[in-house]
Amino acid sequence: MDQATLVEIHKEGGQRLIERLAEEGIEVTAAAWLKASDDDRYYLNIATPIAEEGADLRPAYRRIHAVIRATPELSWIGAGISNVVSPESPIALGINEINGQFPRPAGFEFGAARFGKTNIERAYIYPRPAPALVGAK
């Protein structure tokens, strides 16, 4: 990805991943591409209840990356550009706070913010996804 620039393929890819996770019964409570002030890249952050605050995140990463691997058009989203966080994490809470203040039906660009100890320079925030379908895989 061009450093410090988020292109449409990334915005659309993030939305597609959120949809695929819902299809697989994995709830996403918050999602955004975030560029921290001290970094030159955007990272896709996915908040999900399968990532428990303070717990080992490897099972959550494995489940999400299995969905990514099973979706060929998302193969470019890998461990190097995605973060899985708990719904109680400062990042998830910050994303949801912004969504509450600026509700929109589609993703949107957002300027500087602070999520816990992380200073965010730029963000592309997805609207809060609908809960995963009951009976999904």
Q: How does residue 81 score in pLDDT terms, banded at 50, 70 and 90?
A: confident
pTM metric for this prediction: 0.86
What's the pLDDT at 3?
47
With b for 16 or more beta-carbon neighbours within 10 A and e for fewer, the 71-103 pattern comes to beebeebeeeebbbbbbebebbbbbbebbeeee
Which of 45-49, 83-87, 131-135 bottoms out in mean pLDDT, i.e. has the lowest? 131-135
Q: Tell me what percent of the residues of the chain surpass a pLDDT of 70.
A: 88
- Is the CB of residue 63 less than 8 Å from the CB of residue 26? yes
| Position 57 pLDDT exceeds 50 | yes
Distance (Å, rounded) from C-alpha 87 to C-alpha 112?
Answer: 21
- Is the CB of residue 132 less than 8 Å from the CB of residue 26? yes
| Position 1 pLDDT exceeds 60 | no
| Mean pLDDT rounded to a whole number for the chain | 87
- Is the CB of residue 113 less than 8 Å from the CB of residue 12? no
| Position 17 pLDDT exceeds 90 | yes
